Structure 1
């Protein structure tokens, strides 16, 4: 099995489902409201665990009911939470509006995640024992950089999701093996709107890139190889929240199993396609048997 460590955020997702998202100053009536455990770090951890990885989570939750539920959800999903700190801050929250086409708009309030600005005792040892470290940008950058450096020093593959989109410090890029932005994030990082041009620009910063293209699939580029586009299954989306995290978690497992790149991307796309057909983020993430069935279809 692939050993994966996730260093990142845990949030309680407060999700309102509406016909059409409100514009500034506008009030609309929603059809449903849910509280769903999420956060990009927790989402990727759960996705990887469901996909068959052995997963540990480094992060923080608050000493509140949301924190207890977040920890419980991770553990129930098979994620080791020994390195998930409990702090005297409110747990992080994400306020999400999902429209009838499955699109979303999100406001994240970091809460306890903001305290994760360094590696705690034992974190580096956990990272050193892994096959891959998954990183995102919903915790303070100093911790992300420290995690990436620790992984690099121990020969552990570093997979970075640059979200929320922001400029990346050179020391983080220098310790990143695989960068996985979506189209918007790739454009923010490079100023290029064409995915192939953006990928080419990103390869000047990191050795390997996968740009996710939503329903169009993904684009893989690595130094010394030709770019590769892999399509995604065509499905009716209900909620796209967490689809990118599902893709990354499944991709990390597939790469850890040394699947060829095309197969790994297609397998991850199958996982993401299943997730968008269900509401919520962590609640929508498919198990390995489901991914294999979708991949084979």
Structure 2
């Protein structure tokens, strides 16, 4: 089966990751154990995850003109992602400040930088969306740009998958153009009835796997493999990228594959650095762990 062509429209950041025994309470100072700079951003993470999982991926996004920019471009190309649609905007690239505790849980602050300059799509961007089998979006770039891409995708029979994170209000019209919404528990609760028009809703459940609501309204659950968690950063993005790669094979197979990928992403520190390749995903599925 030919690998799907996936256009990912979204953010790319440099993640500044600090590890500590526990995350500080408001006004408290705690000692950190380590620090690392790891390329991330929900868009880039999902693009890398889709590529490593076996998809053909083009990334549509923006980097700045700072010292982080060459590293951000390199992590995409090094993972086989087509960066023809990666534009450069004068100023800083996006960054995320992340604190990870010994339990693998994290707290994140994102500063958009060049991502906020994604205020429109050019002819080449629209052509990439039209040519793709799947358009995959998140909400770390301006929403009007996402709305434009989603409508163009629908006009050209491109399947639309949206991960509405960080949660914000989207128009009812946009939701009517979405084929698949991927949310976590908190996002599902916050969005509530807004997801009603979406035919397929996938809710990630952390260590409990994921569940899917189809057009008939029925829910089905898929368990994830058991792993030793080191850092949950990027696990949801890994799940979403992998889901896009297998979506054409049906929700059940796509969720099983995505749960395995997401679980593996929690076994190493950082976002893009922890994203597994297809061989590792296939291996843990074959092992049945």
- TM score, norm. by length of structure 2: 0.97
* Paired position in structure 2 for 1:217: 209
8 A contact 2:172–2:194 mirrored in 1: no
Instruction: Give the 3 Å change call, closer, same or farther, for CA 121–89 of structure 1 in structure 2.
Output: farther
Q: What value does the CA root-mean-square deviation take over the aligned residues? A: 1.0
**Structure 1 Cα separation of the partners of residues 185 and 119 of structure 2:** 28
Residue of structure 2 in register with 1:281 after alignment: 271
Report the Cα offset of residue 225 of structure 1.
4.9
Selected match of 2:132 from 130, 133, 136: 130
Describe how 1:1-297 pairs up with structure 2 within 5 A. Answer: 1-190=3-192, 201=193, 204-255=196-247, 258-297=248-287
Over 3 Å counting, the alpha-carbon distance change for 1:167 and 1:284 in structure 2 is: same
SS of 1:82's partner is coil
Structure 1 residue runs without a partner (length 5+): 191-200
- Check whether the contact 1:145–1:171 (CA below 8 A) recurs between aligned residues: no
Moved more, 215-224 or 46-55: 215-224
Contact 2:164–2:181, Cα closer than 8 Å, also in 1? yes
2:103 is paired with a residue of what secondary structure? Answer: coil
CA contact (8 A) 1:202 1:209 kept: no
SS of the residue 2:82 aligns to: strand
User: What is the CA–CA distance in structure 2 between the aligned matches of 1:202 and 1:262, rounded to whole Å?
Assistant: 24
Asked if 2 retains the 8 angstrom alpha-carbon contact of 1:2 and 1:53, the reply is yes
C-alpha separation in 1, matches of 2:69 and 2:100: 24
Asked if the contact 1:203/1:222 (under 8 Å) is kept, the reply is no
Q: State the alpha-carbon separation in 1 of the partners of residues 251 and 62 from structure 2.
A: 33
Question: Which of structure 1's runs of 4+ aligned residues deviate more than 4 A?
Answer: none
- CA distance in 1 between counterparts of 2:55 and 2:10 reads 17
Does the Cα contact within 8 Å between 2:175 and 2:195 map onto a contact in 1?
A: no
CA distance in 2, matches of 1:139, 1:148: 13
Mean CA deviation greater in 6-15 or 231-240: 231-240
The separation in 2 between residues aligned to 1:48 and 1:225, in whole angstroms, is 27
Contact 1:166 1:188 in 2 (8 A): no
Deviation of 1:117 (Å) = 1.5
Query: Is the deviation greater in 162-171 or in 85-94?
Result: 162-171
Instruction: Please give the alpha-carbon distance, in whole angstroms, between the structure 2 residues aligned to 1:203 and 1:20.
Output: 35
Q: CA deviation at 1:165?
A: 1.1
Aligned length: 285
